[in-house]
Amino acid sequence: MKLKAAALLGAAALALVAGSASAADLACLITKNNTNPFFVKMKEGAEAAAKKAGLEFQAYAGEKDGDASPQITAIENCVAGGAKGILITPSNDSVGPALKDARAAGILVIALDTPLADKDAQDMTFATDNFQAGILIGQWAKATMGDAAAKAKIAMLDINKDNISVDVARDTGFLKGFGIEVPDLKVMGSEKDPRVIGHESSEASPEGGQKAMETLLAKDPDINLVYTINEPAAEGAFQALKAAGKTALIVSVDGGCPGVANVKAGVIGATSQQYPLLMASKGIEAIAAYAKDGTKPAASDGLTFFNTGVNLVTDKPAKGVDSIDSAKGTELCWG
């Protein structure tokens, strides 16, 4: 099947990593970018599972988090190519209408890691329980700080200001786990607790994390606890603290191999580990089942999504908070 000219010419915006496929057995993967190890591992898992299932496979990626335009182009290409299923980590909810069109064309749509606000834009989400991931690092931070938690000065390094579902879930989960009241769990920044110094956009990258941390340190140089959306942002926050001659407890989410190494090195105190390869491989299995007989995936018991699991990784376990150490985290990590 021919792809749209935009996909062939827009190499800077999209990464196409497979050849053409028949209309009956094509599976597409669309990630936020192709540089974050989390998405690299998704591609590896999806590609291997597609080969095992006998599906043709095409993978696309945007340039950065929050950039929806290339993802919309990729969705349109998958529809034009006759795909049976699309796996996508949506950059934001503006991809929803294109995904609804895909579903109307009979394509199975599975959101990976990041559910869309419009429930009709996806058939199912395969993801970590991101709220629980946040809860775990919040509980660990509170237990680790002990009495000092009452005087915490917290920096919140989010993806951006778009209220992306995964961003909101991790952010609000952390605050709830730490014992901070969050009036609205659907948006970031609704808390009124003076311990939260502020929220800044990190773009989930080391450079963004460093800049966001510098901004918050300028606001309050005595920050002693840093929440980060992911481990690249945590690395940037650490560099900003180091340059300022400061130290703080840093917690994060992802559990990639570099992140777990930073737990072992003491850069990150604790991180919630998720399993992107499993998300993608299970998603491909669901597409294969749908292609075979129209079966659609079901949510995990008691949830609205298919839960692929989460573990807290730390070498400083806290009483009452289940965790695994960095050695076990290394066995299970990715990237």
Q: What does the pLDDT profile of the chain (335 residues) look like in tens digits?
A: 333 333 322 333 343 333 333 445 899 999 999 888 889 989 999 999 999 999 999 999 988 777 899 999 999 999 999 999 999 999 999 999 999 999 999 999 999 998 999 999 999 999 999 999 999 999 999 999 999 999 999 999 999 999 999 999 999 999 999 999 999 999 999 999 999 999 999 999 999 999 999 999 999 999 999 999 999 999 999 999 999 999 999 999 999 999 999 999 999 999 999 999 999 999 999 999 999 999 999 999 999 999 999 999 999 999 999 999 999 999 999 86
CB 293 within 8 A of CB 227: no
CATH superfamily of 5-127+276-297: Response regulator (3.40.50.2300)
Decide if 5-127+276-297 and 130-273+310-332 have a common fold.
yes
Residue 287 tokens read as 């597409």
CB 122 within 8 A of CB 99: yes
> Exposed (0-12), middle (13-18) or buried (19+): which is 287, by Cβ within 10 Å?
buried
Residue 216 tokens read as 């918050």
Tell me the DSSP string of 86-116: EEE--SSGGGHHHHHHHHHTT-EEEEESS--
CATH, domain range 130-273+310-332:
3.40.50.2300
Q: Hey, where are the domains in the chain?
A: 5-127+276-297, 130-273+310-332
Give residue for tokens 């991931």: 133
Give strand pairing partners of 304: none
